[in-house]
Amino acid sequence: MHTDKGVSRLVFVAVAIVIIVAGTGIYFVTRPPSSPGATSPTSQSSQPSSSQSVGTSSASAATSSSTSSVPNSLVVDEGQQPDSLDPAVTYETPGWEIVDQIYQGLVAPNGESVTSYVGVLAKNWSVSSDGMTYTFTLRQGVTFSNGDPFNAYVMWFSIYRTILMNQAPEFILGQNLAATNGVNFTVTNTTLASINYSTPSTSNLSVMEYPAQSVQVLGEYKIAFHLGYGYNGATPFNSFLATLTTPMAMAVDPIVVMEHGGVATNNTNSWMETHAVGTSFYTLENWINGQSVTLVKNPNYWANSLPASELNYAIQPAIIQTITIYYKSATARLADLKSGAAQIVELPSNDYSTAKGIAGVNASILPVQFGSSEGAYYIFMDPQSFPAFNNTLVREAVAYGIDYQGIISSVFQNLAVTWVGPIPPGFPYYNQSTAGLSPYSYNPVRAAQLLAQAGYRATYPNGTVLNPGGQKFPSVSFLYTTDSSTETEVAQDVATELNQIGFNVVPSGLTVQQYDYIIYSSVSPNDTYSFGLTYYSEDYTASIDYVTALTENGYIGFSGYYNSTVINWTVLAGSSLDNATVASAFANITRAMYYSYTDIWAYVPLFISAHDSDVTGMIPNAAGSGAGYFLFYNTVHYT
Q: Give pLDDT, residue 33.
A: 32
CATH number at residue 53: 3.40.190.10
Residue 526 confidence (pLDDT) above 80 = no
Reported as a single tens digit per residue, the pLDDT across 451-501 is: 999 999 999 999 999 999 999 999 999 999 999 999 999 999 999 999 999
Q: Give pLDDT, residue 560.
A: 86
Q: Is 20 helix (H, G, I), strand (E, B) or coil?
A: strand
Are 385 and 353 in a shared domain?
no
| 450 inside domain | yes
Residue 26 confidence (pLDDT) above 60 = no
Are 75 and 118 in a shared domain?
no
Residue 353 confidence (pLDDT) above 90 = no
Q: Give pLDDT, residue 610.
A: 67
Of 37-51, 175-189, 358-372, the range with the lowest mean pLDDT is 37-51
Q: Work out the pLDDT band at 42, boundaries 50, 70, 90.
A: very low
Are 303 and 397 in a shared domain?
no
| 156 inside domain | yes
Reported as a single tens digit per residue, the pLDDT across 83-125 is: 999 999 999 999 999 999 999 999 999 999 999 999 999 999 9
Are 166 and 59 in a shared domain?
no
Are 242 and 327 in a shared domain?
no
Are 75 and 119 in a shared domain?
no
Reported as a single tens digit per residue, the pLDDT across 73-83 is: 999 888 899 99
Q: What is the pTM assigned to this prediction?
A: 0.89
Q: Give pLDDT, residue 5.
A: 21
Reported as a single tens digit per residue, the pLDDT across 278-328 is: 999 999 999 999 999 999 999 999 999 999 999 999 999 999 999 999 999
Q: Give pLDDT, residue 279.
A: 98
pLDDT > 90: percent of the chain: 75
Q: Give pLDDT, residue 64.
A: 38
CATH number at residue 398: 3.10.105.10
> Measured between alpha carbons, how far is 204 from 191 in angstroms, rounded to an integer?
9
Residue 51 confidence (pLDDT) above 60 = no
Q: What is the mean pLDDT of residues 9-29?
A: 37
Residue 207 confidence (pLDDT) above 50 = yes
Are 479 and 590 in a shared domain?
yes
| 4 inside domain | no
Q: Give pLDDT, residue 583.
A: 98
> Measured between alpha carbons, how far is 208 from 90 in angstroms, rounded to an integer?
27
Please, what's the b/e burial string for 229-244 (b: 16 or more CB within 10 A of its CB; e: otherwise)? bbebeebbbbbbbbbb
Task: Name the residue range of residue 527's domain.
Answer: 375-605
| 254 inside domain | no
Sheet hosting strand 215-219, strand order edge to edge: 122-127, 133-138, 222-226, 215-219
Q: Give pLDDT, residue 60.
A: 33
| 9 inside domain | no
Q: What is the mean pLDDT of residues 193-206?
A: 98
Are 516 and 384 in a shared domain?
yes
Q: Work out the pLDDT band at 333, boundaries 50, 70, 90.
A: confident
Beta strands in 239-281 (DSSP E): none
> Residue 403: how many CA atoms within 13 Å on its side-chain side?
18
Are 596 and 612 in a shared domain?
no
Point out the domain boundary residue: 210, 227, 249.
249
Q: Give pLDDT, residue 432.
A: 98
Q: Give pLDDT, residue 337.
A: 81
Beta strands in 386-427 (DSSP E): 416-417
Q: What is the mean pLDDT of residues 542-547?
A: 97
Q: Give pLDDT, residue 339.
A: 84
Question: Minimal CA–CA distance to 589: which of 538, 536, 548, 533?
Answer: 548
Are 521 and 555 in a shared domain?
yes
364/530: higher pLDDT: 530
| 289 inside domain | yes
114/360: higher pLDDT: 114
Q: Give pLDDT, residue 23.
A: 44
CATH number at residue 206: 3.90.76.10
Point out the domain boundary residue: 210, 234, 249.
249
> Measured between alpha carbons, how far is 180 from 166 in angstroms, rounded to an integer?
14
Are 452 and 587 in a shared domain?
yes
Q: What is the mean pLDDT of residues 125-151?
A: 98
Neighbours of 51 (CB within 10 A): 7
Number of domains in the chain: 3
| 10 inside domain | no
| 534 inside domain | yes
Are 55 and 126 in a shared domain?
no
